[in-house]
């Protein structure tokens, strides 16, 4: 710090005030000190800053189920957003994806005097304890559902599922079958609700959904069942991995995609443009999710009080080669098509 003071031509105390963002420093002096910091390559000690200001510059993140694409991408989005702030990120992964483990993880972060906590836990079992977890610490949920007295940010899962279903119906399919995610997941429930609501809205038949576990293997199992039914012309899978397994099952059964069956997924994982055929899907904007979550937590820290606001981020329809209008029935005519929603075309 002495080198910074010498380069800037100021006192040691002035450098300390600039580093700790304290008042009563002229703008020109602050700019000179910051330039000297860059020139010298000085890195302030975070622990020392906390002692001086009484404020931590670390945010805690409790991340559950990061082996799955959605939670892992949410975490990555938050980390990217934090790079543009003055905050460091401390990540804790609970031992098990349940409420008690999340409460324990939040307690660990609270004991480390973090400024605030973000919880990534799209499970029913966790959503029920977040109000308790928020006691004594600023806390925001990412993809954790609607919770009283706790702010949260999420991609609108229900809207994304409705968008996928509506697109297939507008292509002319009479109904859409669904391969749902596992019970206990908020994302799976939201996507099933959106699919069912859209079919109900237009008066289409609502087939019983098949349930998977997010894996390609479970999608393959569901695909073998659906492939045996010649009436199936359109399938909405609750994630892209299950869609991958379903495509394999349809191929083995001789059901051609998309000429006989249209398939759409959810997530837009990096590999989805390279499926055979390239997969139409719903894209979640994890970058915006990360920015909005961090912004809501910082807003709460600045206000000094909980901000129980819920932010929903709209997903995007991505159209590739796995969807098309249904083939006309033998001796019949194709169903009447409605103008589909305007999608992004990718791949």
CA distance 98 to 13: 48
Look up residue 261 and give its two tokens: 């069956």
Query: 21: alpha, beta or left, given left = phi > 0 and alpha = psi -120 to 50?
Result: left
Which of 53, 71, 92 finishes a domain?
A: 53
Contact 143, 289 (CB under 8 A): yes
Laid out side by side, the sheet with 234-237 consists of 210-211, 177-180, 234-237, 262-264
Q: Are residues 146 and 161 in the same domain?
A: no
Q: Are residues 134 and 167 in the same domain?
A: no
Q: Is there a single domain that holds both residue 206 and residue 222?
A: yes
Q: What is the DSSP string of 56-97?
A: --EEEEEE--TTSHHHHHHHHHHHHHHTTSS-EEEEE--SSS
Residue 157, φ and ψ in degrees, nearest 5? -65, -40
Cis preceding linkage at 30, omega within 30: no
Give how many domains the chain has, as a whole number. Answer: 3
Do 81 and 94 belong together in one domain?
A: yes
Q: Do residues 296 and 307 lie in contact, with contact meaning Cβ atoms separated by under 8 Å?
A: yes
Q: What single string gives the DSSP state of each residue in 259-302? A: TT-EEE-SB--TTGGGSSSPPBEEE--HHHHHHHHHHHHHHHHH
CA distance 101 to 107: 10
Residues 127 and 243 in one domain: no
The DSSP call for residue 113 is T
The domain in which residue 233 lies consists of 157-284+317-345
CATH of the domain at 41: 1.10.260.40
pTM score of the predicted model: 0.80
**CA–CA dist 189, 162 (Å, integer):** 13
Evaluate whether 110 touches 137 at the Cβ level (below 8 Å).
yes
110 & 76 share domain: yes
Name every residue whose Cβ is closer than 8 Å to that of residue 233 and which is 6 or more positions away in sequence: 173, 174, 260, 261, 262, 326, 327
From residue 306, alpha-carbon distances to 7, 152, 210, 303 in Å are 42, 11, 40, 8
Q: Are 197 and 335 part of one and the same domain?
A: yes
H/E run at residue 257:
none
Token pair 């087939």 is at which residue? 207
pLDDT for the residue 41:
72
> Given the structure tokens 């045996």, which residue do they identify?
228
**Pairing of β 177-180 and β 234-237:** parallel
Pair (332, 238) in one structural domain:
yes
Q: Average pLDDT per run of 10 along the chain, which is 347 residues long?
A: 78 72 80 81 59 69 92 92 87 90 91 90 86 85 81 95 99 98 96 98 98 98 98 98 99 98 98 98 94 91 82 96 88 54 62
My answer on whether 273 and 337 are in the same domain is yes
Q: Say yes or no: 85 and 217 in one domain.
A: no
CA distance 2 to 42: 10
Q: Specify the CATH number for the domain of residue 206.
A: 3.40.50.2300
| pLDDT at 166 (0 to 100) | 99
Alpha-carbon span 291 to 280, nearest angstrom: 26
Q: Both 339 and 217 in a single domain?
A: yes
Q: Is there a contact between 65 and 121 (Cβ–Cβ < 8 Å)?
A: yes
DSSP states along 189-229? HHHHHHHHHHHHHHT---PPPEE--SSHHHHHHHHHHHHT-
Structure tokens at 22: 């304290």
User: Are residues 205 and 130 located together in one domain of the fold?
Assistant: no
Q: How far does CA 33 lie from the centroid of its chain? A: 39
How many angstroms separate the CA atoms of 226 and 246, rounded?
A: 9
């Amino acid at each position: 710090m002495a080198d910074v003071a010498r380069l800037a031509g100021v006192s040691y105390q002035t450098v300390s005030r600039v580093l700790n963002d304290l008042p009563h420093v002229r703008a020109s002096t602050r700019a000179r000190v910051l330039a000297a910091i860059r020139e010298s390559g000085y890195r302030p000690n975070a622990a020392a800053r906390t002692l001086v200001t009484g404020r931590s510059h670390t945010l805690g993140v409790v991340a559950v189920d990061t082996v799955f694409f959605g939670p892992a991408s949410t975490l990555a989005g938050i980390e990217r957003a934090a790079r543009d702030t003055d905050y460091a990120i401390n990540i804790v992964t609970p031992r098990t994806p349940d409420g008690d483990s999340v409460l324990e993880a939040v307690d660990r972060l609270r004991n480390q005097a973090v400024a605030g906590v973000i919880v990534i836990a799209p499970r029913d079992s966790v959503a029920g304890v977040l109000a308790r977890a928020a006691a004594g610490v600023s806390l925001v949920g990412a993809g954790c559902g609607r919770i009283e007295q706790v702010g949260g940010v999420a991609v609108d899962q229900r809207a994304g599922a409705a968008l996928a279903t509506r697109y297939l119906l507008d292509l002319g399919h009479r109904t859409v079958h669904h391969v749902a995610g596992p019970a206990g997941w908020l994302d799976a429930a939201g996507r099933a609700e959106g699919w069912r609501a859209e079919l109900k809205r237009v008066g289409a038949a609502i087939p019983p959904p098949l349930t998977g576990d997010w894996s390609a293997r479970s999608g393959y199992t569901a695909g073998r069942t659906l492939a045996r039914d010649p009436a199936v012309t359109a399938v909405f899978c609750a994630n892209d991995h299950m869609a991958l397994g379903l495509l394999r099952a349809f191929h083995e059964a001789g059901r051609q995609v998309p000429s006989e069956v249209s398939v759409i997924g959810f997530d837009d994982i990096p590999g989805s443009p390279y499926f055979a055929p390239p997969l139409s899907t719903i894209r979640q904007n994890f970058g915006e999710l990360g920015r909005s979550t961090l912004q809501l937590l910082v807003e709460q820290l600045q206000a000094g009080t909980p901000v129980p606001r819920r932010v929903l981020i709209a997903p995007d329809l991505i159209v590739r080669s796995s969807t098309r209008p249904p083939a006309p029935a033998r001796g019949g005519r194709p169903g009447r098509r409605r103008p589909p929603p305007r999608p992004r075309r990718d791949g």
